[in-house]
Amino acid sequence: MKILIIEDDKILLQHIKQGLTQAGYSVDVSADGKEGLFMAASESYDLLIVDRMLPHIDGLTIIRTLRASHTETAVLILSALDEVDQRVEGLSAGGDDYLTKPFAFKELLARVQALLRRAQQPLESVPELRAQNVRLDLIKQKVWVGDTAVSMQPREFRLLEYLMRHQGEVVSRTMLLENVWEYHFDPQTNIIDVHISRLRQKLDTNREKSLITTMRGVGYVLETH
């Protein structure tokens, strides 16, 4: 998996590079818009991480240029600008996801994994999701823990579905709100935690360790084993 990071903040760039390399990705970096665009256009990457404010050519222009030349590489936009309008602007320019600075590295990693997974396997392809002894039937919209059917409300089902699609990965509260409830903003209350604890109550019968682990300050992971 090859990732290109175009970011002019050298310390942040090094930090992200180090983190992603440790996570097993092959990482190229550029601190300049012009150079970054050249690299993105000439080599084949699985994911681009692009800052909005860059020397010479800004991030959105890079994305628009790439999209105009039919480069379909997934793009994660990084920005210190976090207004809703600017997020919409970034996504409509061709970005696939938008993360505002500062961010926890784990949040970045979670989004990188989600984007790469989306690029690899489209969502609709599987009829059933499995994690440990939990089975989620996407066609019948039913959930089993072992042999026991568990009743779920539609939103709980979607929450579990999202967690299971990203099992083993960290998902942030903002990602959950965005993908399960389809509203984008940073929740500043424990509202998502309440829903997670409901889900745990239904799934964690006869289990030593909870299926869903809380990652302090970041979000949750649905454990594969």
Partner 1 sequence: MYWKRINAFVRTSSFRFALMTMGIIWLVTTLVLVAMYGLLRQSVWQNIDSRMNQYASVVTNAISAQPDLVASEILEQFQDMPSFHISMNTDTDSSRMNDSYSLMAEHHSGLSRPPDHLLHAQQMMRNMGNQQVMTRDIPLPDGSSVQLALNVDYLDDLNHDLFKTLMRGILFTLILAIVGSIILTRRSLKRTNQINEACTVIMAGNLDHRLPVPTPNNSATRLDDHDQMAANINAMLDRIQALMNNVQQVSDNIAHDLKSPLARLRTHLEKIQYDQPSDAIQDALNEADRMMILFKSLLGIARLESMTLTHTKQVDMSKLLADLTELYEPVFEDAGITFVNAIEPGAIRGDADLLFQAMTNLLDNAVKFTPTGGNIRLVSQQMANGYHIVLSDSGPGIPDKDIDHVMERFYRVDSARSTQGFGLGLSLVKAIIGHHQGTISLNNRNGLSVALFFPI
Q: Which residues bind partner 1 (CB under 8 A)?
A: 9, 11-12, 15, 53, 80-85, 88, 100-105, 155, 181, 183-189, 191, 194-195, 198, 216-217
DSSP annotation string for 149-192: EE---HHHHHHHHHHHHTTTSEEEHHHHIIIII---S---SSHH
Strand 219-222's sheet: what is its strand order?
Answer: 170-172, 219-222, 212-215
Closest CA to 215 of 186, 173, 187: 173
Q: What's the CA angle centered on 93, arms 89 and 97, to 5 degrees? A: 80
Nearer to partner 1, 54 or 222 (CB): 54
Nearer to partner 1, 2 or 184 (CB): 184
Nearer to partner 1, 41 or 88 (CB): 88
Residue 181 CB, nearest distance to partner 1 (Å)?
6
Residue 157 CB, nearest distance to partner 1 (Å)?
13
Residue 105 CB, nearest distance to partner 1 (Å)?
5
Nearer to partner 1, 80 or 123 (CB): 80
Residue 24 CB, nearest distance to partner 1 (Å)?
16
Pairing label, strands 142-145, 148-150: antiparallel
Nearer to partner 1, 9 or 35 (CB): 9
Distance CA 211, CA 205 (A): 10
Residue 67 CB, nearest distance to partner 1 (Å)?
19
Asked if residue 80 lies in contact with residue 53, where contact means CB atoms within 8 angstroms, the answer is: yes
**DSSP-based three-state secondary structure for 73:** coil
